[in-house]
Chains A and B, each alone.
Chain A
Amino acid sequence: MLRIALDGLSFGSLLFIAAIGMSLSFGVLRLVNLAHGGLFMLGAYLASSLLSWPGGWVTAIFGSAVAVGLLGLAIERGLLRYFRTNHLAQVLITLGIVFILHWLTLAVWGGAPLLSAPPEIVSSGVSISGQQYPVYRLALIGFGLVMFVAIWLVFSRTRYGAMVRATVDDEQMARGIGLRSELIGATVFAVGAALAGMAGAIGLPYLGAYPGLDGEVLLFSLIIIIIGGAGSILGSFIAAITVGLINAFTAAYLPFVSSFVLFAVMIVLLIFRPYGLLGREIVASVHLPQSDGLGGKAIDAVAKRVAALRTSGGQP
């Protein structure tokens, strides 16, 4: 029981670090990043290669975080910043990046799954309820908590965090008082990407690196955003821990329905709170470029039709 709970907590902690970047870019920038799982996967693959470099795990974790963060910065500066209000364009571009990352990881690392042993310092076990439990997983829980507190402190207590929150509340006003909201957005995206890369690296002994890892991480991240509410750090943390615990307990006791339980929790929550536990309503309208030329004419036509129906007394 305790061991299953610890499994859930450690998986949840990893999920929190993986998902928080996507939640922040969505909640703060209204930027959909479907390549977030791909960035996690790239972090895991990079770490598997960086492990043989001098410095071992330290190089692997920070190297992956920096490399994936820079890639995130390049994606935001190079492409996404031109489509700040066009969500469909963001969806398509990030999907394109997903496929390019699939190609890249297949070409460089091949299709075979990679796994590595946890770092030396946490490779031992401790005795919990009579059995050995890997210290690595306990370290994950600790790391997740540290990251949660750190991210929360940055957002609520620092000047940078205040600037981000100001940009979220009223971008025009933030610009008006001289905040460079463009750059603030870019840094949030890049830091989110770096966190995804770091999560991929520290999760390497747990999840490994394999083709398809990106889809699984994306699904968990989406569920966490839906349950926790986009852009809410506390909401994401609660949701990640909940998802981790549900995943661990259903895997142990109800392996066949584990997907359904997560799904059911999400649906029930959505019926009562459509924008998640701690999320605010986001007016995320999707602007579609249409080529059928019906545009606004359709509404006028409908309005005329309604008017015609009224005057003709209901006869079409």
Chain B
Amino acid sequence: MTRRRLAVVGTALAVAAAASAPLWLGGYELGVLNLALVMGLLAISTNIVLGFGGLVTLGQGAFFGLGAYTAGLLSTYADVRGFAAVAIAVAVGTVAAGLVGLVVLRSQGLYFMMLTIAIAQLLYAVAFRWREVSGGPEGLVGVYFGQPGDLFDRPEWFYALTLVCLVVCTVIAWRLRHSPFGRSLIGTRENAGKMAALGFDVRGIQLRAFVAAGAIAALAGALFAYYNAFLDPSVFGIDMSALALIMVLLGGSGTIAGPIIGAVILTFLQSSLTSVSSAWLLILGIVYVLVVIVAPRGIVGLFTRGRS
């Protein structure tokens, strides 16, 4: 019971701190925190597939990028912005995740992972080469959520929007995990054969989780494009998916808070290191190796030992 009380108090404190952040954080720090929350959404998406479903994916960047490019193309070519554009981006991500899931979930384990990489990399190649539409390696410039001067053009209001999205998606992930569907998803992670023998449609369960994760990743991508006001093909890159993966594992895979903790730590680490030439890459590489050796169950796992 004390652990539950701890979780409730911790959550309340975290939400209060995040909600009041515009009051006590400087403009730069607020921007970094905003980016951390966007990355947190991508990490939540990865956690649904990896943590709950037990499927190692390195392709969430595919849906992240589709969301980002949908928002970007709508903003630059059609002048469609705001919540309508975000809704379209999420719809695109959802449909794409359904189609991709139908194919990639046919294989398991490492083949599944390799296919997710391949799909994200192919989208990367398309965005890179199709200059006429995507702008090629230079990307799209001038991607805005609102018209200039709008409410959400102000950083603190865009931050509030991101925070609301993150809270909603966290609640969705929490509800998902404790729902009958979430329990059966975790069941497929633990023992797919037994679940199939019990009469569960294993691939159907995994597909629904994959689609939910694709929708959240597309939402994260759209917000990412608006946050940066520009985007380039790197949103599809394996680096992006790998970053989301390590955020989940650093924080604690399969937990609710873990992905967000991992996203906040790594985003702040990155922003404090990118000024020091390419040292960030070295540190990030070492983090990957250290997580495996030192904290295989993540930061949350360090505090909940003995439960598994």
**Which residues in A have some Cβ–Cβ distance to B below 8 Å?**
26, 30, 32, 34, 79, 83, 87-89, 91-93, 95-100, 102-103, 106-107, 215, 218-219, 222-223, 225-226, 255-256, 259-260, 262-263, 266-267, 270-271, 274-275, 282-286, 288-296, 298-299, 301-303, 305-306
B238 contacts partner chain A, Cβ-Cβ < 8 Å: yes
Per-residue 0/1 for B280-293: is the Cβ within 8 Å of any A Cβ (1 yes, 0 no)? 01101111110110
Contact B249 A100, beta carbon cutoff 8 Å: no
CB neighbours (8 Å) of B281 from chain A are 99-100, 102-103, 106
Contact A89 B122, beta carbon cutoff 8 Å: no
Most buried by B among A255, A270, A295, A299: A299
CB neighbours (8 Å) of A79 from chain B are 289
B255 contacts partner chain A, Cβ-Cβ < 8 Å: yes
**Beyond A288-B50, A291-B255, A296-B190, is A302–B198 a contact (Cβ under 8 Å)?**
yes
B300 contacts partner chain A, Cβ-Cβ < 8 Å: yes
Q: Compute how far the CA of A103 lies from the CA of B246 in the bound complex, rounded to whole angstroms.
A: 18
Number of B residues near A (Cβ < 8 Å) is: 72
Contact B254 A32, beta carbon cutoff 8 Å: no
In the complex, what's the smallest C-beta–C-beta distance from A75 to chain B, in angstroms?
10
The chain A residue sitting closest to B278, CB to CB, is A106
Contact A91 B296, beta carbon cutoff 8 Å: no
Q: Compute how far the CA of A270 lies from the CA of B111 in the bound complex, rounded to whole angstroms.
A: 10
Main secondary structure of the interface of B (DSSP, over half): helix
B89 contacts partner chain A, Cβ-Cβ < 8 Å: no
Contact B308 A92, beta carbon cutoff 8 Å: no
Give the 7 A-B residue pairs with the shortest CB-CB distance, closest first. Answer: A96-B288, A291-B301, A293-B307, A99-B285, A100-B285, A284-B109, A103-B281
The chain B residue sitting closest to A259, CB to CB, is B125
Contact A288 B189, beta carbon cutoff 8 Å: yes
Residues in B270-284 with C-beta less than 8 Å from chain A? 277-279, 281-282, 284
The chain A residue sitting closest to B124, CB to CB, is A215
CB neighbours (8 Å) of A255 from chain B are 129
Contact B301 A215, beta carbon cutoff 8 Å: no
CB neighbours (8 Å) of A302 from chain B are 183-184, 187, 195, 198, 200
The chain A residue sitting closest to B286, CB to CB, is A96
Of B11-19, B25-33, B66-74, B100-108, the stretch lying at the interface with chain A is: B100-108
Contact A103 B279, beta carbon cutoff 8 Å: yes
**Beyond A99-B288, A100-B281, A100-B285, is A256–B129 a contact (Cβ under 8 Å)?**
yes
**Beyond A223-B118, A299-B195, is A290–B253 a contact (Cβ under 8 Å)?**
yes
Contact A299 B190, beta carbon cutoff 8 Å: yes
